[in-house]
Amino acid sequence: MPMPDNNSTVAASTNHSGMTWPSVETLSSWANIAVVALGVAAAIAGVFALYFSSKANASKDAELLRFQNDSKIALASAEARAAEANRMAADAGEGTEKIRQENLKLSLRVEEERKARLEIERALGPRQLLPSERTALLSLLRGIPAPREVTITNLNLPEPEQFADALAAIFREAGWNVERAAGVFSNAPIGLLVITNSTTNQTGAGIQRAFAAIGLKAEGQLNPNQLKPHLIVGVKP
């Protein structure tokens, strides 16, 4: 009986249905090849993963760096705008204060010009007492001791007569006995003149002090024949 052929046994085997299966050695070779292929594929995949990972990390780093740079630029721009806003606010505040100072100077100048105009008007116009001056004179005349009597004579001209009437009204309101007269003088008196004798000198001095308190100068003169204080209203100084 002939011996079976080992090579044919090793190479392949046939099942009962007539199909031929690879041998154990063939399967082992294929398995080894598959392992190597898978290893190579895994290595290649690892390389690609490492490559793309490094690419991703590099991209992230670049993006982070760009973001940081953009943030620095934006911050610097914001700080610059804030500094400019502060400077403009300071300039505006300085400008407002300057305008306020100029307005204050202008107001003072206007007030000075108004006072100067009033002084000119009073100097050119007839003599008149301000309400405050009238009130002060009234109070002072009331404080002079009795006997409170006076003769008021004006130069026979319209302006002295008008002012003499105004003074006479104040004296009467203060409780004085007032005699009014108009006179003709060889030398026209200027301003106010108070004539008294030695007995009535204190009363005359009180009248002079009352006029001086409101800015009116009244000269004093002694006349022994003057029975009571005599106020003469002359032309406007």
Burial classification of residue 163, based on how many CB atoms lie within 10 Å of its CB (0-12 exposed, 13-18 middle, 19 or more buried): buried
- Topology (CATH level 3) of domain 131-233: Alpha-Beta Plaits (3.30.70)
Q: What angle do CA 218, 220, 222 make, to 5 degrees?
A: 155
Q: How far is CA 15 from CA 10, 18, 113, in A?
A: 14, 5, 137
Q: Would you state the pLDDT for residue 47?
A: 46
Domain range summary for the chain, segments of one domain joined by +: 23-125, 131-233
Residue 173's CB is within 10 A of a number of other CB atoms, namely 14
How much is the pTM? Answer: 0.52
Phi, psi of 184 (to 5 degrees): -115, 130
What per-residue string of b and e applies to 97-117 under the rule 16 or more CB within 10 Å gives b?
Answer: eeeeeeeeeeeeeeeeeeeee
The one-digit pLDDT tens for each residue of the chain (237 residues) are 444 444 444 444 444 445 454 554 554 555 555 444 545 455 455 545 445 445 545 565 666 677 677 767 877 887 888 788 778 877 777 778 888 888 888 788 888 877 777 766 666 689 999 999 999 999 999 999 999 999 999 999 999 999 999 999 999 999 999 999 988 888 899 999 999 998 888 999 999 999 999 999 999 999 999 889 999 999 999
Q: Cα 139 to the chain's mean position, in Å?
A: 45
CA distance 150 to 226: 11
